[in-house]
Chains A and B, each alone.
Chain A
Amino acid sequence: MPELSIDGQPFRFAQGTTVAAALMSSGDRCSRTSVSGQRRAPLCGMGICQECRVNIDGLRRLACQTICREGMQVQTRS
């Protein structure tokens, strides 16, 4: 099974899994920290709400519109 990293922790995924689905099934199952410090998870699943914006390989991407790839480095706390 291919593997990526979420906040430094390895995560194995089935081909075609979105990064949002991966985030929601690993670690604290969240995608970002809000301006007042709350941890948040994907909400709309459709690229609208921006709650799932994460850093992937140095670029800000929406997890729900990104497919997991081998070796991706996903950061939810940057």
Chain B
Amino acid sequence: MTQHVDLLIIGAGPAGMAAALAAAPSAISIAIIDDNPLPGGQIWRDGPQARLSASARQMRARLQRHGNIQLHSASKVVAFAGTKRLLLENAEEGWVLAYDKLIVCTGARELLLPFPGWSLPGVTGAGALQALIKGGLPVAGERIVIAGSGPLLLAAAATAKKNGAEVVRIAEQASLGDVARFGAGLWRWPNKMIQALDLASGVYRTSAHVLAASGVDRLEAVRVQLGDRVHEIACDRLACGFGLVPNVEIATALGCRIEHRAIFVDQWQASSVADHYAAGECSGFGGSELALVEGRIAGLAALGQRAQARKLWPERKHWQNFADRLNRAFALNPALKKLAKPDTLVCRCEDVPYAELANHSSWTAAKLNTRCGMGACQGRICATAGQTLLGWEPPQLRPPFSPARIATLACLDEDVA
């Protein structure tokens, strides 16, 4: 079964939704493929313990109103099926979708770095905890430590508190000077200022990072470096994320140039491959406002509506300035590269400890000798950690890009026949 669309968008977060809505009035056929059950990406999630903002609800409603937009939720890109053809899979079936233009809006994931105890149940990413709470995880009465870096720590803390948790410590690795300089410049982006007010809360500490998590069968305590002191904090959960990493795997495999870990795009959001665009966090992070305007530019540019796209450049610049400031303020402290001990697992799929990796000179050598990165996540966690800890270039992912059923892969044969 092969379908064809004029414009395919991978990812239904703010960038993907904005791209589809910008392109929709042209009446071309548009498909959006997204691996989550509902559109909105990582930022706009609703669930038993979360309600979407009015603007996000409105965008979802507008997507449904356009008859020329098909939304494939809970669907993944599995492989390429030839030039401008992707093999896709959902819970029921696999199918091939051919396209003329593609906009990659695959977003970003959290940077998760290994430290002793990080594989204990009770330890999650920071944005992860927020997502899980929104998805119905009860946290009332729990003591939670939030650690890592960036504004996501505050967002996670706010969601945890709203749902009855006691946030006992927020440990930000950046220095007070960097965070303060960032905060002082926020008057140019007033809505971001309100979000930052939490900085004043008593549990927030700068120049602070996690050293180890401990517990028998699950997390019981966290050891935290606070300036030059070490504190042991009893807690039920640790939510630890060190900022964001663009999801560039599919774009890389398509041949798109990657710069500074993100998909390189020009002023039209066009990638280095003709007819392939990128927008949002996967082309460099900057938050949902930047993703929205980049998505609109990509949608218009993909249609050739350059005059309209160009009108949005000043708005993009405004949010890009905010993003640049953010990325400078929360640059990672090199001490974080030393958190993993010899027996700390780095590859959680194949259970490969740091000592086994560190003997090798490159990711490929380590992979061939230890099986690191050969498990179900295909190195998305450990190769990204290896890039930060050891300076190793991550490998180019080969299809299938995510675990898939045999019946789905068989669609490739049918498609050729």
Q: Do A and B bind each other?
A: yes
Please indicate the chain A residues that have their CB under 8 angstroms from the CB of B46 in the complex. 16
Nearest chain B residue, comparing its CB with the CB of A60: B403
Say whether B110 contacts A44, CB under 8 Å: yes
Please indicate the chain A residues that have their CB under 8 angstroms from the CB of B128 in the complex. 42-46
B74 on the A face (CB < 8 A): yes
Say whether A36 contacts B37, CB under 8 Å: no
Say whether A17 contacts B136, CB under 8 Å: yes
Please indicate the chain B residues that have their CB under 8 angstroms from the CB of A28 in the complex. 121, 217
Please indicate the chain A residues that have their CB under 8 angstroms from the CB of B381 in the complex. 43-44, 48-49
Please indicate the chain B residues that have their CB under 8 angstroms from the CB of A15 in the complex. 48
Say whether A16 contacts B121, CB under 8 Å: no
Say whether B35 contacts A43, CB under 8 Å: no
Nearest chain B residue, comparing its CB with the CB of A31: B121
Q: How far is the CA of A39 from the CA of B122 in the complex (A)?
A: 11
Say whether A24 contacts B132, CB under 8 Å: yes
Say whether A44 contacts B48, CB under 8 Å: no
Residue from B74, B122, B135, B380 in contact with A17 in the complex, judged by beta carbons closer than 8 Å: B135
- The dominant DSSP class at the B interface is loop
B109 on the A face (CB < 8 A): yes
B residues 136-153 near A (Cβ < 8 Å) are 136-138
Say whether A50 contacts B376, CB under 8 Å: yes
Please indicate the chain B residues that have their CB under 8 angstroms from the CB of A14 in the complex. 48, 136
A78 on the B face (CB < 8 A): no
A residues 6-40 near B (Cβ < 8 Å) are 13-18, 20-22, 24-25, 28-30, 34-36, 38-40
Q: How far is the CA of A61 from the CA of B350 in the complex (A)?
A: 19
Taking Cβ atoms with an 8 Å cutoff, the residues of B that contact A are: 35-37, 42, 46-48, 74, 91, 109-110, 112, 119, 121-125, 127-133, 135-138, 217-218, 247, 348-351, 375-377, 380-381, 403, 405
Q: List 9 A-B contacts (CB under 8 A).
A: A18-B47, A18-B136, A24-B137, A34-B348, A40-B348, A43-B112, A43-B128, A44-B109, A66-B74
With A25-B138, A35-B350 known, 14 other A-B pairs at CB within 8 A are: A16-B47, A18-B136, A21-B135, A29-B218, A40-B348, A43-B123, A44-B128, A45-B127, A45-B128, A45-B131, A50-B349, A53-B376, A61-B91, A67-B37
